[in-house]
Amino acid sequence: MPTDMPQPAFVLVRPQMGENIGAAARAMWNFGLDRMRVVAPRDGWPSEKAVAMSSGAGRLLDEALLTDDLAGALADCHFTLATTARPRDLTKPVYTPEAAMREARDRIAQGQRVAVIFGPERAGLENEDIAQANAIVSVPVNPAFASLNLAQCVLLCAYEWRRIQDDTAPVVQALAGTEPAETHEIEHLARHYEERMNEAGFFFPETKAEAMKVNLRNMWSRMPLTRADVQMLHGMMRQIVRWKERGGR
């Protein structure tokens, strides 16, 4: 049984070695976190090596949500933080682990569901993964030497989560009368716009199309959209299509 302590989900994206999944589970449970999600583990699931390495924290693996893709793992979340070693130019806010866990705590206190995503061991998260997140977490390591492994990155985030629980919680008010959109709603909106803009010939030239799509997705995921905003944006695009079909009359 998972603990009922409100907490973020930690999502391992395409992890390679089972041992590292087990070590990540132990790192989490050291600080009382027990909501793991696993996206497309390279060597299949369940993983004997993960179980062997997780000793004492095996329950996290048994209860982990397994999904085929990142969108599936984030579907019910309102806010996603992506861990990266080097914040690239991704036009998202970059948080320290401390600031990230404070943001997570405040959002969770307002009833939101928060995810922290971690990339595969060697390469880290792809730009397409980061495009699905709202903000970036970067551990301020020595610029001359950054060698954190997956479990260490999980450990530092879990440690910060635990550490900031002891601060007095700042009072943050939710946007009056508005509900934040969930990740699957943002995903659906992003797809709707991408499809229509594709039909409209926006992603041109071909060589730049992928980068343009990533930019657009980054923009949607970075915006603090409410459910009402999402409905309005869908409605705008549907009306534009009707306008076009009338030939501008």
Indicate the residue among 109 and 174 with the shorter CB distance to a second copy: 174
Token pair belonging to 187: 């995903």
Indicate the residue among 108 and 223 with the shorter CB distance to a second copy: 223
Give me the least distance between CB of 138 and a second copy, in Å please: 8
Give me the least distance between CB of 49 and a second copy, in Å please: 17
Indicate the residue among 65 and 212 with the shorter CB distance to a second copy: 212
Give me the least distance between CB of 127 and a second copy, in Å please: 13
Give me the least distance between CB of 72 and a second copy, in Å please: 27
Burial of 204 from C-beta contacts in 10 A (0-12 / 13-18 / 19+) = exposed
Instruction: Report how far residue 92's alpha carbon sits from residue 141's, in angstroms, rounded to the nearest whole number.
Output: 19
At residue 158, what is the residue type? A
Instruction: Report how far residue 213's alpha carbon sits from residue 207's, in angstroms, rounded to the nearest whole number.
Output: 12
Radius of gyration of the chain (CA): 19
Task: Tell me the HSE value of 215 on the side-chain side, using a 13 A CA sphere.
Answer: 7
The helix or strand, by DSSP H or E, that contains position 174, with its residue range, turns out to be none
Give me the least distance between CB of 40 and a second copy, in Å please: 27
Instruction: State the Cα torsion 123-124-129-135 to the nearest 10°.
Output: -150
Indicate the residue among 43 and 211 with the shorter CB distance to a second copy: 211
Indicate the residue among 44 and 173 with the shorter CB distance to a second copy: 173
